[in-house]
Amino acid sequence: MYTEKDIQAIVSAQRKFFRTGATLPVKWRIEQLKKLKAAVIAHADDFTAALAEDLGRSEVEAYLCDVGPVIVEINEMLSGLRRWARPELHFSGWMCFPSLITRVYKMPYGVSLVISPFNFPILLTIGVVAAAMCGGNTVVIKSSSKSAACTAVLKKFFAEVFPPEYVTLIDGGHDIADMCLAQRFDKIFYTGSPAVGRHVLAEAAKNLTPVALELGGETGNWCVVRADADLKDAARKIAFIKLTNAGQICININQIAVAEEVAEPFMEELKKAFVKQIGEHAETNPEYPKLITDAAYDKCAGLADEYRERIVFGGVGVKETRKYAPTIIYPVDINEPVVQHELFCPLLPIVPYKDAEADDLMDVIADREHPLAMYLFTKNIRWADRVMQTRQFGGGCINEVCIHMMVKGVPFNGTGHSGMGAYHGEWGFREFTHPQTVLKGSTYFNLPLREHPYSGEAGKKKMALLKIFEK
C-alpha cells in the first residue's frame, strides 16, 4: 500500500530526472519507444491471459482491441516523431523588423500522470503512456483496481522495461488516485466517466495543471438508422460493436434510433446478426466477454428487469460468470431514463421515430450532452454529411461503427461531457507537448517605431508606418 510520502517521492524523483534533460533528445525518445514496442510484443501472451481473467476476452478479441492497436500506435510514432518534433520556422512579420525569424519549439510538459480505465486496460494505458513518452515526458501511471490482473501484469511490465524515475505504475483504489491527484503534475490524462472526470479536473485546477479527458459521454452515443439504410449491413456492424467487450466501450452504441417504417425488419436482422456472431446463448459462450465486477453485472441485470416486458431479445445472464446476453429493448421513448445516461453494458434500447422527422430527432439529440461517438446508417449521404458537419460529438462513422478511431493521422476524443483534448499519433504528441514561441532578436537596424514619443510629428510618422505594416 502506498502512502502520500511514497507517491510524493516518486513524483520528486521523476521531476529530478526530467530536469536532467535526458528525455529531450528525439533520438533518445525513439530508443525508448522501440523498447516499449519490443516489450509489448514479448509480453503479448501475458496481456492476453490477464484480459481473459479480468474481462473474459478471447485471444483474438484481446489482440484486436488491445495489443495490436498499441503496436500500430507506437509504429506511427516511430515513423513520425522526428518530423513532429522539428521546430517550426516562422517569418516574424514586418512589425517585428529587424527580428524576422521566430521558432516554435515543441517542449514536453514534464512529469505526467496517466489515469487509465478497466475496459481496455492495455490499450488505454500503454497507448497513452507512449504518447507521453513521444512528447518527452516522464510518466506516473495510476491503473484501474477493477482490472486487477491487467494492472498486476502492467506493473511488472513497466518495472522490467523502464526505471521508475522515467515510467512507473502505481496500483490501488480511489484513495491512491486521490493521493496522486494531490501532487503537482505538469500534465494529467484521464480516461473514464464524466463524473470522475469532473473530480480530476477540480483537483488539477488547484495546481493549474493542464488536463486531457477521454470520457464516455453523459447521455451515451447514438446510432441512427434511416428508412433507406441497408438493414442487414447495419445490423451486422451494430451487433459486432455491441458484442465487443460486452458493451463496455466508451465509443459503443448506447441506443439506436430506428425509423419506425423499418423497425421490425431491422430488429429481425439484428437478432439474426447476434445469433450468427455469438450463438443463441451468448451468456454461455466462452468467446463472449464478461462484465468487469459483480456490481456491474447486478446493475445491468437490474436495469433489464425494469424493462422486462419490452425485452424482445436476450435478457438473460449467468451471475457466476458475470456474462449477460446482448439484450434488445423495444420500443423505448426518447425521453425515458434508459436513453438519458451511458449504459456501458450489453443492453440496447431502440427508439422508433418517423423517418420524415429525422432532423427533429437530431435536434433532440443535440440538446443533450455531446456524445463521444455518432453513427448514421443511410443511403442519403448528403443528409449524413450535413449532420456530421453541423453537430457536436467526438467522432463517428457513416454506414460503419467504431473504426474511425483506428485511422492513422487523425485525432480521437470527445468534447464537453465526452472529453477535452485529443490524441493518437501526432495528436498525442501535441497533447503532451507545449508549443513554445521564441523570437530571435537582432541587435542591428532596430527602428524606434515602438518607442516613445507617440505624439507630435514622430507619432504621425509611426502611425503611418504601422498602418502600412498592418496591411
Q: Dump pLDDT digits (tens) for 104-156.
A: 999 999 999 999 999 999 999 999 999 999 999 999 999 999 999 999 999 99
**In the prediction, which pLDDT does 190 show?**
98
- pLDDT band of residue 271 (cuts 50, 70, 90) is very high
Enclosing H/E stretch for 132 = helix 123-134
Q: What are phi and psi of 78, to 5 degrees?
A: -65, -35
pLDDT at 470 over 80: no
In the three-class reduction of DSSP (H, G, I as helix; E, B as strand; rest coil), residue 438 is classed as strand
The number of C-alpha atoms within 13 Å of 459 and in the hemisphere containing its C-beta is 5
Query: Each residue of 208-246: pLDDT tens digit?
Result: 999 999 998 889 999 999 999 999 999 999 999 999 999
How far apart, in whole angstroms, are the C-alpha atoms of residue 137 and residue 24? 8
> What is the per-residue pLDDT for 468?
85
Which grid cell is 163? 526505471
Tell me whether residue 214 is one of the annotated catalytic residues: yes
Residue 55: name the closest of 325, 323, 344, 347 by CA: 323
Q: What is the pLDDT of residue 218?
A: 86
Which band of pLDDT confidence, cut at 50, 70 and 90, is reported for residue 467?
confident
Render pLDDT for 53-87 as a digit per residue (tens, 0 to 9): 999 999 999 999 999 999 999 999 999 999 999 99
Q: Which domains does the chain have, with CATH numbers?
A: 4-216+418-434 (3.40.605.10), 222-406 (3.40.309.10), 441-469 (no CATH)
Tell me the three cell numbers of residue 14: 521523476
Residue 357 has pLDDT above 90, yes or no: yes
Known catalytic membership, residue 451: no
pLDDT at residue 365 tops 80: yes
Q: Percentage of the chain with pLDDT > 70?
A: 100
pLDDT digits (tens, 9 = 90+) for 279-324: 999 999 999 999 999 999 999 999 999 999 999 999 999 999 999 9
**Which pLDDT score is estimated for 270?**
98
pLDDT digits (tens, 9 = 90+) for 10-21: 999 999 999 999
User: Which residue is catalytic, options 214, 269, 342, 431?
Assistant: 214
Report the share of the chain in percent with pLDDT over 90: 93
Answer whether residue 465 shows pLDDT above 90: no
Report the pLDDT value the prediction gives residue 395, as an integer from 0 to 100. Answer: 96
Which amino acid makes up residue 98? P
Residue of 367, 373, 389, 391 whose CA lies nearest to 223 = 373
Give residue 388's pLDDT.
97
Catalytic residue among 65, 250, 345, 397: 250
